[in-house]
Chain A
Amino acid sequence: MGEAELQQLIAGCLNHSRKDQKMLYKAFYGFAMSICLRYAGNRYEASEIMNQGFLKVFTNLQKYDTSRPFIAWVGRIMMNTSVDYYRSNLKLSLNDDLDAAEDIGHNELPDQKLKYDDLIAMVQQLPNAYRTVFNLFAIEGFSHEEIAEKLNISTGTSKSNLFKAREKLKNMVINSGRLPDTSAGNAQHTIVAIGAISISMSVLIELIMK
């Protein structure tokens, strides 16, 4: 989308034109959703967060500083909305075993390329508190101090959540590499089944012969 076209859309949105709002929404849908998907637990929550973020975009459009890139502004709103979602709605799911955070030894990761869908599914499987810290630290590049301030937690909690997130993710990545093992297991089952059938067939033939 060209800059002139974007400015035109923004102007239309400022005039509450529903058509322009939809066009802007559509134009930034993929970008916004990609952010929300990695902060959210599932696609439903991601949609909720994204729409809430877009609502902020539409209602605060007059505050947008045109000298800065619009996409960065939208991205920041989506990230902040995601963090707010975590903060207000997910208090209970934290604090379970934060104290048990330990520095666990790490093995080398298998050298493999994972698909986007697999990676995002792994991130979404993380508990909310771990996922948020992992996103902020590993993907967005914030320091533990900044994260602690953003989430209103201690830097220690931030660090421990990050370690736990990494630990869980690493296990998932390693396990995903073991997929052939499970197929081998299936083959064994097949061999046993064929063996059993052939034995039973021979027993049957013997009986008939008698």
Chain B
Amino acid sequence: MKEKSENKLDQLFRDGISGAEDHIAFREEDWASMEQLLDKKSDRKAGVFRIMYYAAGIAALLLLAIGLYFFGNGDKNNQVKNNLQSKNGKNHPTNITAQPGESNPSSHNQLPVQADSSVSNATNNGQQQLQASSATNGLAKAHHQVNGMGHRPGTTTAPLQGVNNNPVVNGSDKLAINNSLGNKLQPLSANVDTITDHTPKRTDNTSNKIQNNIAGNTAPPDTATTDKLTTQERKQMLAVKTSAIKNRPQFSITVLAASDANAVSNFGHSQTGTNYGLQLSLKLTRKLTVSTGAAYAIKPYSTGLNGYSPAYAPPSFTTNIQANCKVLDIPLNLSYQVYSKGNNALSLGSGLSSYFMLKENYRYDYSAESGLDPKYIEIRNQNKHLFGVLNVNANYQRKIDSRFSIVVQPYLKLPLTGIGNGKVDLKSTGIALGVNWNIGSAFGAK
């Protein structure tokens, strides 16, 4: 009986409702909103391209920063070599090309190998004589003395002879080379000492350097200049070494709390939200810092129907939409220090944030004429916007001590894509306050 009754009811509705298409007249306004949907879809595609464009830009900046950091270190090593070379003379390129091309191969090959192995001997055995020779500044005398020295076994004889015996080198060149050898051997030995003291792994390069130095030093400087150069080079070596230590990547952690204004379209009707975040920064160079982290943000806002366009739009008699979103904000920013004096530092940064919408609450208020009660909607973990928000911020830091500093960070977050269920243009601006702990310097203190 009951079953029969149920079937009858079902059948009543099935029969009554089916074949209803003839009852329904086409409405032009439905097609108008359909067209809007179709247009929005193509807009969304364009939006995706825009996001990719920005993401690519940021990625390129990051790569550039990382590249600068690593190659920057490499360049400093090269700089040491270049310093040594350029200080020693202006004409060295011609000499370098002249030597391999014109000298006989055996004597040329001998030069770097033996010079490398006998540098210490040269400093012990030949230094005094060489110094004497250069001090006199007499070209002919120097030529003789160097030649004389060349006959001593176990010293730099072989390489020097190799150069001197070069049949193609004309007389004036010979003098220049001999002189250069005489003048250079002292600073050279000093350089070798410095290099072997500080960077033992680089001894392979010393042979080239010695070759270049020997070849390059065509202008005969006096001993005073030589000494000056030596101390300068030592200083430079030290400077490079210390700056390399300074530029070591430094980590720091910042705890931030912020109060910000959230608004759709413009800040005329903004509502106040709160943020709590943790930020990890990596100082790539003295001025460039990359940072990431996580922030829990509460973002309330209200909007009309204009700015709110969810997949299923609220009815046209909706007067207001009140939203409250809990968001996990994962930023990736790059900042550049524009000012640093004493304990104060100011940097400007930009980057992209990913929003993970943890919880979205909406209340649709309907017009009084509709007679409908407000409708509440809650959505959890459904929307995420990877690199969907552009960050622009300024960062002021004031040091308290070597490890801690106070941070004041005004920021602006501009969406590149529609945020949340309503795909709203949700902008936020505010000031974050926090404390920064420099882990890098903490390790450095140990």
Q: Which residues of A are in contact with B by a Cβ distance under 8 Å?
A: 18, 21-22, 25-26, 29-31, 33-34, 37-38, 42, 44-45, 47-52, 54-55, 58-59, 85, 88-89, 91-92, 105-109, 113-117, 119-120, 123, 134, 137-139, 166, 169-170, 173
The CA of A114 and the CA of B30, in the complex, are separated in Å by: 28
Which B1-44 residues sit within 8 Å CB-CB of chain A? 1-2, 5-6, 8-10, 12-14, 16-18, 20-27, 30-31, 33-35, 37-38, 41
B313 beta carbon closer than 8 Å to chain A: yes
The answer to whether B377 and A138 touch across the interface, beta carbons within 8 angstroms, is no
Q: How far is the CA of A119 from the CA of B18 in the complex (A)?
A: 11
Given A34-B24, A50-B30, A54-B34, A107 contacting B13 (CB threshold 8 A): no
Interface SS of A by simple majority: helix
**Which residues of the other chain, B, contact A166 by a CB distance below 8 angstroms?**
6, 9-10
Determine the chain A residues whose CB is within 8 A of the CB of B379 once the complex forms: 88
Pairwise interchain contact B33-A51, C-beta atoms closer than 8 A: yes
Contact A29 B377 (CB under 8 A): no
Q: Given the complex, which residues of B lie within 8 Å of A89, measured CB to CB?
A: 312, 377
Once the chains are docked, how many angstroms separate the CA of A117 from the CA of B33? 24
CB distance from B76 to the nearest CB of A (A): 56
Contacts of B16 in A (CB 8 A): 113-116, 119
Complex Cα–Cα for A147 and B38 (A): 31
Is B17 a contact of A38 with CB atoms below 8 Å? yes
Residues from chain A with a CB closer than 8 A to the CB of B224 are none
Number of chain B residues close to chain A: CB under 8 A: 39
Interface of B is mostly: helix
B35:A139 contact, CB within 8 angstroms: no
Measured CB to CB, the closest approach of chain B to A91, in angstroms, equals 7
Instruction: List, sorted by A's number, 9 A–B pairs whose CB atoms are closer than 8 Å.
Output: A30-B26, A55-B37, A58-B38, A59-B41, A91-B378, A92-B376, A106-B9, A123-B13, A134-B13
Specify the chain A residue showing the minimal Cβ separation from B310: A89
Q: In whole angstroms, how far apart are the Cα atoms of A50 and B37 in the complex? A: 12
Chain A's closest residue to B382 (CB) is A88
Contact of B17 among A26, A113, A120 (CB under 8 A): A120
Extra inter-chain contacts (12) besides given A108-B5, A114-B12, CB under 8 Å: A18-B35, A21-B38, A25-B34, A29-B30, A31-B21, A33-B21, A47-B33, A89-B312, A108-B8, A116-B23, A138-B14, A169-B13
B268 within 8 A of A: no
Contact partners of B382 in chain A: CB under 8 A: 88
A105 to B3, CA, bound (A): 10
Cβ-defined contact, A106 with B21, below 8 A = no
Q: Is the CB of B14 within 8 A of A44?
A: no
- Tell me the nearest residue of chain A to B30, going by C-beta: A47
Query: Does B12 contact A173, Cβ atoms closer than 8 Å?
Result: yes
7 cross-chain pairs, A with B, having the tightest CB-CB distances, nearest first: A30-B21, A44-B315, A138-B10, A106-B5, A34-B20, A119-B16, A30-B24
Among B9, B316, B378, point to the contact of A170 (Cβ < 8 A).
Answer: B9
Collect the chain A residues with CB atoms within 8 Å of residue B35's CB: 18
| B10 contact set on A, CB distance < 8 A | 137-139, 166
Chain A residues whose C-beta falls within 8 Å of the C-beta of B17 in the assembled complex: 34, 38, 116, 119-120, 123, 139
